[in-house]
Amino acid sequence: MKEFFNKLLTGMSIGIVASLIPNALLGEVLKLLIPHFPILKPILDITVIVMSLLPVMIGVMVGITFKFTPIQIASLGIAAMVGSGNIQKTADGLFALNGIGIVINTGITTALTVLFIKLIGNRLKSYSTLLMPTLSILIPGLIGYSILPFVRTGTGFIGIVVSHVTALQPIVMGAIISVIFCVIILSPISTVGVATVIMLSGIGSGAANLGICAAGVGLAIASYKANSLGTALAHVLGSPKIQMRNFFMKPKIAVPMLITAAILGALAGLLNIKGTPYSAGFGLSGLVGPLNYIHLASGGWSVKNIAVMLSTFFILPFLLNIGLIYLFSRKLKMIKADDYKLSFD
């Protein structure tokens, strides 16, 4: 069972990175340039389309991780897409891409399809190409599609909890929301989905971004010795979700980041760091968090606002994580570099 979830989460992590990083690297920069260079608009559109392929990529990468055959991998990809909910039928009867879907349901559907493929094994023989894709859609795919409303409702419950937290005193609220989003970003649950369900805005949104920032920067620092520089940077530029497997196997690896998140979230309440429902959940990815703070702050690109942005989104996450990682690894011996090892071979 441990090996099963290990491979499942590894494949999901790779699929998430491959799908989200192009928009994370280029999205906000392109939005700034497009008003002056409209020719760049198709590039932004392409990165958004690639994000919408996340369910297929998760299925494909999980299939590769399990060393399935090409037809089994393809079947896994389409079944994952069916269960993701990222394609919806419009009032005109057309089908439209709707973001990245419900990631946790994509994972559930993918897991069911893996089990189904293992159960079928080689029984289909020469009929595999003909039957495997159809059966994958009709059985595990349809189960995933059927439970989608319930899983979506479950995500909504998390949003309700976060919504109740927003009624607390700003500093306390900021700390709690930051920690919650630091945990969510390390799970298959979509941070953006939770934020948009409850239309999380203001300090709550700013604190959510700082929580994700704490996770990304901290995991990049902690994992640097065990991984390449590019993989370490992917935690910040892409998504900390690539550590899902390690986090589920050893939750203690996130303790330094959670403490950092609590401190940064409290600062969000103290310094009035804000965001929008559509910027919450991104952190430093694409510089969405810091840029939205500047846009919403009174005075815009003033020296004070720039200093606050650099301190809370860049300097403090780095310094706090460095100190806490040193404490928990060298002094308390709770974590070690190998705990953050990622294998994308």
> What are the tens digits of pLDDT across the range 198-219?
778 899 999 999 999 999 999 9
Q: What is the pTM of this model?
A: 0.81
- pLDDT for 327 equals 96
- pLDDT for 208 equals 94
C-alpha separations of 86 from 19, 51, 75, 100, 147 in Å: 14, 10, 17, 6, 14
Question: What is 112-142 written as a DSSP string?
Answer: HHHHHHHHHTTTTGGGHHHHHHHHHIIIIIH
- pLDDT for 263 equals 97
Tokens of 37: 């260079």
The separation between CA 181 and the C-alpha centre of its own chain, rounded to angstroms, equals 10
Closest-CA residue to 255 (of 312, 186, 324): 324
C-alpha separations of 137 from 8, 42, 82, 233 in Å: 19, 32, 7, 36
- pLDDT for 10 equals 86
pLDDT (mean) for 90-111: 86
What DSSP designation does 272 have?
A: T
pLDDT band at residue 331, thresholds of 50, 70 and 90?
Answer: very high
| E-assigned strand segments in the chain | 87-89, 95-97
- pLDDT for 276 equals 84
Using a 10 angstrom Cβ sphere, with 0-12 exposed, 13-18 middle and 19 or more buried, the burial of residue 131 is: middle
Mean predicted lDDT score pLDDT of the chain: 90
User: Is 17's pLDDT higher than 90?
Assistant: no
pLDDT (mean) for 191-202: 80
Give the model confidence (pLDDT) of 261-313 as tens digits.
Answer: 999 999 999 999 998 887 787 888 878 889 889 989 999 899 999 999 999 99
Which value, in Å, is the radius of gyration of the alpha carbons in the chain? 20
pLDDT (mean) for 133-154: 92
- pLDDT for 344 equals 65
Closest-CA residue to 188 (of 87, 75, 110, 278): 110
User: Is 14's pLDDT higher than 70?
Assistant: yes
